[in-house]
Structure 1
C-alpha cells in the first residue's frame, strides 16, 4: 500500500484520462494520494477530485512562481478552503529563484503570509524549493514554522541540510529524481533520512522516474520511487511502503 503525497492530477495533462490514471494508480497499490492545488485554476479542481474519491485528499496553497498574482482575496480564499474536510495541508508554497516572474521580495512575503495562515488553521505546509534553500530555512525559522511542520517536497538538495529540516519538524519527500542515474544528491538523502521522517511522491505529471524519464509522470509510478529507495537502503519494498504510508497518515492527521 503506497501513499503519493504530492501529485497534480488537476493538471491539464490529465484532463482526457484522469479516471483511467487514477485507476492505474489504485491497481498498482497506490491507495492514497494528495492532489496539490497552487493557483486559481488548480485549487478548485484539487478539491473536486478529492471529493470524488474516498482515499484522495487535497492541499491548497499559492506557488511562488505566481506570488506576484496573489492578493489578500486569494489568501482569504485559501483560509476558507482549509476547513474543507478533504483538505489536509497548505501548499505548495515556498521560493523559486529559477524563474523570474515574481520578484524575490514578493515571493518571500507571500511565503510568510501562507506560513502564518497555516499556523492559524493548524495545518502542515508543503514546501517548494528551487535554488533558494538558505532563504527558505531562514524564513521557516523566523516564522517558527516548526509549530506546524510539514513536507520538504521533492527534496533535491544537499544531505547537509537534512538534519536542519528534521529539527524544524519537517518530513523529507523524495520523488522521481532518486531513480535518475546521474542524481547523486537524492540518493544520499534517501539513505540518510530516518525511516520515520521519509515520504514518497511523484509530482506527476512532472519528473517521471526511470525508466519513464522524459514521459508524462503519473501516480502509479510512485512504486518505482519506493523500489529504488528500498534498494538504496538495502531493505524491502514492503518496509518502505509501510513506513512512508504510516508517516503520511500521521503528518496529515488522517483518522484511518
Structure 2
C-alpha cells in the first residue's frame, strides 16, 4: 500500500468532473496507491473541493489557507467549522513563503499564527508549506506550541538544519517529485538522513511531476515513481518504504484511522 500524502485533486485539469477523477483514482490504485490527502489552499474553495471528492471514501481532506493565498482572506471561525468535518484530518496548507511573496510577509505570519493556534485548539496536525523562511517558520511553530499536535513540512526543499529542527518538534518530512530532479543534490542528502518513522511521500499534484513524467500534469499515480526513487536513494526495499510511509501517515493523521 502507498499513500499520496499531499495532492490537490480539485485542481487537476485532467479531472474536471467526477468521471475523470474516478479514472485518475483508479489509475493510482492500479499502482498501489490506496489513500489520498486532498489539501485545501483557500477557504472559499473548501466546499467545492469536498463536493468533488465526496464519492471517494479513500480521499481525506485538510482545511486551511496557503501563504500565497492569504490575500483571499482567513476567517478563523469559518475555518474552525470546516475543520470539524470528519473527513478533515489536518489544518493547512499553511506556512510562510518569502520566495514568491515577500511583500505579504506580515500577513502570512498573522495567518500562519492563527492556523497554528487553531490546530492546537482542536488537536489536529498542521500541513506546512515553507520556502525561504526557515528561521521564521521554526520560530513560529515553537512559539505556537505546534509540537503539541505535530504536523508535516510538505514538499520539503530546505536544508538538513531545518529538517532537524522540525523533527525535534515532532514533525514529519514529506518528499515530492522534486527529489528526482537533476539539481536536487542537497535535498537528496537530506532525505537520506530522515528517520524511517518520520518520512512521507507525496505528489503535490497537479504540480511538480517527477522524472520520468516531467512536462506532464502530475497525478497521484506518480507517487509510485517518487517512492521507488526514494527507496533506491536510501538503499531500501520499495515494499518496506511503502509500508512504513503508510504507517507514518496514519500515525500523524490519526483522524484518518477512523475513516479507513
Please give the TM-score of this superposition, normalised by the length of structure 1.
0.95
Q: 2:58 maps to which residue? A: 55
Q: Deviations over 1:34-66 (max 9, x none)?
A: 000111443223322443212110011001112
Count of residue pairs the alignment pairs up: 254
Partner secondary structure for residue 10 of structure 2: coil
Gaps of 5+ in 1: none
Q: How does 1:166-205 map to 2 (within 5 A)?
A: 166-205=167-206
Do structure 1's residue 108 and structure 2's residue 112 form an aligned pair? no
Q: Deviations over 1:193-229 (max 9, x none)?
A: 0000000000000000001112110000000010011
Do structure 1's residue 37 and structure 2's residue 40 form an aligned pair? yes
8 A contact 1:175–1:203 mirrored in 2: yes
Q: 2:25 maps to which residue? A: 22
User: Shift in Å at residue 185 of structure 1?
Assistant: 2.2
8 A contact 1:176–1:209 mirrored in 2: yes
How far apart, CA to CA, are the structure 2 residues paired with 1:252 and 1:176? Answer: 22
8 A contact 2:43–2:79 mirrored in 1: no
User: Shift in Å at residue 82 of structure 1?
Assistant: 1.2
8 A contact 1:10–1:37 mirrored in 2: no
How far apart, CA to CA, are the structure 2 residues paired with 1:68 and 1:205? Answer: 22
How far apart, CA to CA, are the structure 2 residues paired with 1:189 and 1:49? Answer: 36
How far apart, CA to CA, are the structure 2 residues paired with 1:51 and 1:215? Answer: 26
Q: How does 1:86-105 map to 2 (within 5 A)?
A: 86-100=87-101, 103-105=104-106
8 A contact 2:42–2:72 mirrored in 1: no
How far apart, CA to CA, are the structure 2 residues paired with 1:63 and 1:215? Answer: 24
Partner secondary structure for residue 244 of structure 1: helix
Gaps of 5+ in 2: none
Q: 1:11 maps to which residue? A: 11
Cα pair distance change 1:178/1:186, threshold 3 Å:
same
Partner secondary structure for residue 54 of structure 2: helix
User: Shift in Å at residue 134 of structure 1?
Assistant: 1.2
Partner secondary structure for residue 86 of structure 2: coil
Please give the TM-score of this superposition, normalised by the length of structure 2.
0.93
Cα pair distance change 1:135/1:241, threshold 3 Å:
same
How far apart, CA to CA, are the structure 2 residues paired with 1:246 and 1:68? Answer: 36
How far apart, CA to CA, are the structure 1 residues paired with 2:120 and 2:82? Answer: 15
Q: 1:206 maps to which residue? A: 207
RMSD after superposition: 1.5
Q: Deviations over 1:157-193 (max 9, x none)?
A: 1122221111111000000011112211221122100
